[in-house]
């Protein structure tokens, strides 16, 4: 399993380098085909993805899902240290792909007739809009259950919910004026500042579980002595539930009207909540508790993942992962002991689930 991970890291499959993503997918495609799985490749909007399955179906009993793209930065090579491995993507989330490969190797799902599929996508780090979203929405994949190891606070935790995303790109319109004569115009930059200030009043940062807003980009003007006619901003809003999203949207559009603004682009991603009464989830939680020996903690993820696209279609998603850290940084690492524990639980659960 560690050797698979080392090979995956070597491709340095940055989202914007889809040729590198393709080379990685070529490697996994050959691997799965050698073990008898049916493999279909997809490309939407220049983004490459792959689905490998035992049967020719888009509704498998179980789908293992992961992303093979990594964020740019120093091309951190695969390294071994005491009890850990390092490398770009080892924790986010090439370890999951390596585990899927090991699972296929050990369980031989084709020989055993297991109704399982594996989906690997190349754009999760850019939002997943042309990967998982279109595979589900356009191609019609709808597994009964998905395991997606892309969230959790290390082994012993399980992500059972995630905030939704509301990402508006806005433009505030005004009238340009000379910097010394503001009464002759209606400077858009100042209006944007007031818009943002009023929006920030909607959010209470004292509790991490609350909805949040981050000003991701602000752009306006080109001269130091002029009030600009337009100002633009990108906001990264994470909402805790649909009721709170309605509250945020009501104020957002009211302020947009107040400051003569418009929406240039808008991306909305659903929040999700796992049904802990689902018998398949109950079984997983029981096995997870046995694996840790100390119980597990349930968490709500602050960031988004491809899980939201499955949740939008009513597909339960199990999210857990091993200990690691440094995701998106230049010191990304993964605990080998925890990786083994993660894989043991994954393997055991998949065996029981698919034999039921």
Cβ–Cβ < 8 Å for 198, 220: no
Residue-wise pLDDT for 277-289, tens only, equals 999 999 999 999 9
pLDDT at 74: 80
Over 80: is that where the pLDDT of 75 sits? no
Provide mean pLDDT across the span 33-55.
99
d(CA 302, CA 305): 10
Average per-residue pLDDT in the chain? 95
pLDDT band at 329 (very low <50, low <70, confident <90, very high): confident
Cβ partners under 8 Å of residue 237, min gap 6 = 165, 166, 167, 168, 211, 212, 213, 214, 248
Cβ–Cβ < 8 Å for 142, 51: no
pLDDT at 179: 92
Identify the structural domains of the chain with CATH numbers, from first to last.
Answer: 2-162+271-355 (3.40.630.10), 164-269 (3.30.70.360)
Residue-wise pLDDT for 201-254, tens only, equals 999 988 888 999 999 999 999 999 999 999 999 999 999 989 999 999 999 999
Reference 13, options 28, 1, 3, 2; nearest CA is 28
pLDDT at 132: 97
pLDDT at 271: 86
pLDDT band at 120 (very low <50, low <70, confident <90, very high): very high
| 3-state DSSP assignment of residue 265 | strand
């Amino acid at each position: 399993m560690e050797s698979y991970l080392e090979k995956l890291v070597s491709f340095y499959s940055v989202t914007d380098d889809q040729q590198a993503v393709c080379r990685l997918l070529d490697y996994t495609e050959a691997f799965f085909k050698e073990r008898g799985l049916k493999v279909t490749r997809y490309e939407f909007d220049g983004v490459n993805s792959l689905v490998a399955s035992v049967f020719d179906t888009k509704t498998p009993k179980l789908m293992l899902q992961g992303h093979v793209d990594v964020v740019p930065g120093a091309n951190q090579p695969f390294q071994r240290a005491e009890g850990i491995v390092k490398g770009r993507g080892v924790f986010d989330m090439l370890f999951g792909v390596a585990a899927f490969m090991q699972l296929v190797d050990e369980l031989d799902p084709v020989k055993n007739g297991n109704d399982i599929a594996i989906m690997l996508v190349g754009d999760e780090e850019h939002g997943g809009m042309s990967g998982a979203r279109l595979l589900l929405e356009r191609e019609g994949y709808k597994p009964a259950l998905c395991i997606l190891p892309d969230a959790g606070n290390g082994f012993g935790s399980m992500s059972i919910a995630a905030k939704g995303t509301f990402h508006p790109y806005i433009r505030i319109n005004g009238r340009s004026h000379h910097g010394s004569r503001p009464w002759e115009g209606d400077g858009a930059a100042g209006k944007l500042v007031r818009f943002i200030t009023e929006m920030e009043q909607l959010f209470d940062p004292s509790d991490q579980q609350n909805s949040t807003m981050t000003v991701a980009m602000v752009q306006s003007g080109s001269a130091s002595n002029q009030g600009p006619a337009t100002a633009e901003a990108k906001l990264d809003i994470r909402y805790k539930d649909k009721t709170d999203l309605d509250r945020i949207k009501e104020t957002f559009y009211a302020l947009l009207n107040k400051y003569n603004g418009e929406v240039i682009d808008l991306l909305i991603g659903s929040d999700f909540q796992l049904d802990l009464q689902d018998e398949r989830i109950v079984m997983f939680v029981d096995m997870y508790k046995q694996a840790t020996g100390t119980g597990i903690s349930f968490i709500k993820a602050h960031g988004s993942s491809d899980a939201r696209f499955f949740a939008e279609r009513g597909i339960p998603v199990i999210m857990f992962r091993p200990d690691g850290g440094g995701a998106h940084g230049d010191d990304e690492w993964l605990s080998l002991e925890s990786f083994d524990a993660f894989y043991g639980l994954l393997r055991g659960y998949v065996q029981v689930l698919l034999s039921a």
